[in-house]
């Protein structure tokens, strides 16, 4: 029987993955390949865009080959991606003109700081829902245009193209036929007007970015076109879903109702709340973003971004070398009764929501002679939960909604210690789905809608729950621990 699978391509910050689902969204197989990050200067983070493309195509081919599945067996494909990461390439040769500048990169901090004093800063927040920050694509694009010789002229001559990772992959997968993005990714560039649904001319003029290099913005689910013959197999494959990774996770968790919330524990931690067709303006350091657009109708979200979450565990493994695998942190954390007063603030890339302090630095405080590596490991896990609480508090305040349940996903959500501590410190239930890779599932869900296989109502029944963590901590202990965290945050601010 032909046409029986849905393929999700999930291009994250540290790996490219391909996951194949059947029509009931059971996982048939997955493949993953790590991607390298480059750090040419302190606070600069780059990737080789060609490596991103090659690893993504490689894992998809490897998956289909290993499972003995032909490209003609695939109904459709959805793409989800690390957001804000910026690629500019030559239209004719298809070669990137500079490395991809990653969302974590801080090279434009000083420039962003200078904009914050100006009137345009308020306009950007109103139009895009975003706070002026090097995190977003706009100042990355400006930097590349100004620092690669001759590029400004090439932009004017219509010889180069810009894309976030979704756009870069789709352009390559379609052999240059499609230069597109979707509402969710466009809303992360700091160039897209989320109210008027268009690239904002005033902001483009301010940053001196020609509109002709930008992709066409589409719905998050529709029949966009095809992955070309020969790219992933003999036949062309329909492409019908696109969303930035965090919005895809919100969709994969079926957070379709206003007020529903999910938190993804990946390299960073990202919490999104569906606010329906209303763009809620944040007064608490969160950002307003587009969750998805379907049939031209926009659903908005508010989002809190924690820059370093799982990346702190990677740091314990690769730099401090006090653990061998991320998996063992659960056992280590349970081996001590508490952190012995140790707090880890993993502000390696500054602090995101709700603090937005790009000058904050990572801090370990509360050390005594009795503290050992186990306390630091436990404190690093607890830091993810504390940062999540910071964001959730801000979200409840902005949306004027009391959150009763947190849906979680992402690699670190497999850690039972983390999720129990999360439930304890929030004093609400924390629900983990059966399949924690909600990002890929969301891409598959969107692709299924775009290909007219399922409606949103039908997708609701496809989500399965693994476990709900119930809070057990006393109010006194909770408050004591969280107050200690707030003190530690103050120490990290330079």
- Residue 4 CA, distance from chain mean position: 29
pTM of this prediction exceeds 0.85 = yes
Q: Measure the CA–CA gap between 264 and 398, rounded to whole angstroms.
A: 20
Q: What is the pLDDT of residue 3?
A: 65
Residue 113 pLDDT greater than 60, yes or no: yes
Q: Measure the CA–CA gap between 446 and 464, rounded to whole angstroms.
A: 17
Q: Name the β-bridge partners of 27.
A: 21
Residue 251 pLDDT greater than 80, yes or no: yes
Residue 1 pLDDT greater than 50, yes or no: no
Domains of the chain in sequence order = 5-245 (3.30.420.40)
- Give the contacts of 303 (CB within 8 A, at least 6 positions apart): 246, 270, 271, 272, 273, 286, 287, 288, 289, 353
Q: pLDDT digit string (tens) for 133-190?
A: 999 999 999 999 999 999 999 999 999 999 999 999 999 999 999 999 999 999 999 9
Residue 494 pLDDT greater than 80, yes or no: no
State the average pLDDT over residues 324-345.
95
Name the strand (E) or helix (H) holding 78.
strand 74-81
Q: What is the pLDDT of residue 194?
A: 96
Q: How many CB atoms lie within 10 A of CB 115?
A: 18
- Give the contacts of 305 (CB within 8 A, at least 6 positions apart): 135, 268, 269, 270, 287, 352, 353
Q: What is the share, in percent, of the chain residues with pLDDT greater than 90?
A: 83
Q: pLDDT digit string (tens) for 367-394?
A: 999 999 999 999 999 999 999 999 999 9
Peptide bond into 354 cis (omega under 30): yes
Give the CA distances from residue 139 to residues 102, 282, 323, 356, in Å, rounded to whole numbers and listed in that order: 12, 22, 37, 17
Q: pLDDT digit string (tens) for 56-112?
A: 999 999 999 999 999 999 999 999 999 999 999 999 999 999 999 999 899 999 999
- Give the contacts of 123 (CB within 8 A, at least 6 positions apart): 202, 203
- Cα 463-441-268 angle, rounded to 5 deg: 110
Residue 115 pLDDT greater than 50, yes or no: yes
Average pLDDT, the chain: 94
What's the pLDDT band for 253 if we cut at 50, 70, 90? very high
């Amino acid at each position: 029987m032909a046409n029986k699978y849905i393929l999700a391509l999930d291009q994250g910050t540290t790996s490219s993955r391909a996951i194949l689902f059947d029509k009931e969204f059971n996982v048939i197989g997955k493949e993953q390949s790590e991607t390298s990050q480059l750090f040419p200067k302190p606070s600069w983070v780059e990737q080789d865009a060609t490596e991103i493309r090659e690893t993504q195509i490689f894992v998809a081919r490897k998956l289909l080959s290993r499972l003995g599945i032909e490209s003609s067996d695939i109904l459709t494909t959805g793409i989800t991606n690390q957001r804000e990461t910026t690629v500019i390439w030559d239209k004719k040769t298809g070669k990137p003109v500079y490395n991809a500048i990653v969302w974590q990169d801080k090279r434009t901090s000083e420039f962003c700081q200078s904009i914050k004093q100006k009137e345009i800063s308020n306009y950007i927040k109103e139009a895009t829902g975003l706070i002026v920050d090097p995190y977003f694509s706009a100042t990355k694009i400006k930097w590349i245009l100004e620092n690669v010789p001759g590029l400004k002229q090439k932009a004017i001559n219509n010889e180069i193209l810009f894309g976030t990772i979704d756009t870069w992959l789709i352009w390559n997968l379609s052999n240059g036929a499609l230069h597109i993005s979707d509402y969710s990714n466009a809303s992360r560039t700091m160039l897209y007007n989320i109210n008027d649904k268009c690239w904002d001319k005033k902001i483009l003029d301010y940053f001196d970015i020609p509109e002709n290099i930008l992709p066409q913005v589409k719905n998050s689910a529709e029949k966009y076109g095809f992955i070309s013959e020969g790219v992933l197999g003999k036949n062309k494959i329909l492409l019908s879903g696109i969303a930035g990774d965090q919005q895809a996770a919100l969709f994969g968790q079926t957070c379709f109702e206003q007020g529903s919330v999910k938190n993804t524990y990946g390299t960073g931690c990202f919490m999104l709340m569906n606010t329906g067709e209303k763009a809620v303006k944040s007064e608490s350091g969160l950002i307003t973003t587009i969750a998805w657009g379907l049939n031209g109708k926009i659903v908005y979200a508010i989002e809190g971004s924690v820059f370093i979450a799982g990346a702190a565990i990677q740091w314990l493994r690769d730099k401090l070398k006090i653990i061998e695998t991320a998996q063992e942190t659960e056992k280590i954390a349970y081996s001590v009764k508490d952190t012995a007063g140790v707090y880890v603030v993993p502000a390696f890339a500054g602090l995101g929501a709700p603090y937005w302090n790009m000058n904050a630095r990572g801090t370990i405080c509360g050390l005594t002679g009795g503290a050992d590596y186990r306390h630091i490991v436990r404190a690093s896990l607890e830091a993810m939960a504390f940062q999540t609480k910071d964001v959730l508090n801000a979200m409840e305040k902005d949306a004027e909604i009391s959150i009763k349940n947190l849906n979680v996903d992402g690699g670190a959500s497999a850690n039972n210690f983390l999720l129990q501590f999360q439930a304890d410190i929030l004093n609400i239930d924390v629900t983990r789905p059966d399949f924690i890779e909600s990002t890929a599932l969301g891409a598959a869900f969107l692709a299924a809608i775009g290909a007219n296989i399922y409606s949103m109502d039908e997708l609701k029944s496809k989500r399965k729950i693994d476990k709900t963590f119930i809070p057990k901590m006393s109010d006194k202990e909770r408050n004591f621990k969280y107050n200690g965290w707030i003190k530690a945050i103050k120490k990290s601010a330079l």
